[in-house]
Amino acid sequence: MKLFIESIEGGTYLAATMDGQQKRLVRDKDDNPMAFHCLNEIKDHFQNDNFDEVWLKQSTPYDEMCGLDEKREPLEMQIEWNR
């Protein structure tokens, strides 16, 4: 299983898991996307889960606003996830 973390504006992170080909956004009890405020909150949430890979992606609208090519690849990297 893989974990994908996306850093979005305002110091907020979203998380999604992928098992096989199906990627699922982590949702709260009201079925809204669960927002995390730091990577440690995400680690606590998944403390009983094991992941083969963990990816962190930085999403920002500022590149396009500054005139950078919108076709650039997003900043995404595999991170170490050991406790």
The pTM assigned to this predicted structure is: 0.80
Q: What is the mean pLDDT of residues 13-24?
A: 94
Question: What pLDDT sits at residue 1?
Answer: 93
Q: Where are the domains of the chain?
A: 2-78
Q: Calculate mean pLDDT across residues 11-20.
A: 93
Give the other-Cβ count within 10 Å of 3's Cβ: 22
Task: Give me the pLDDT at residue 65, please.
Answer: 58
For 2, list phi and psi in degrees, rounded to 5: -120, 150
Query: β-strand 75-78 against 53-58: which pairing, if any?
Result: antiparallel
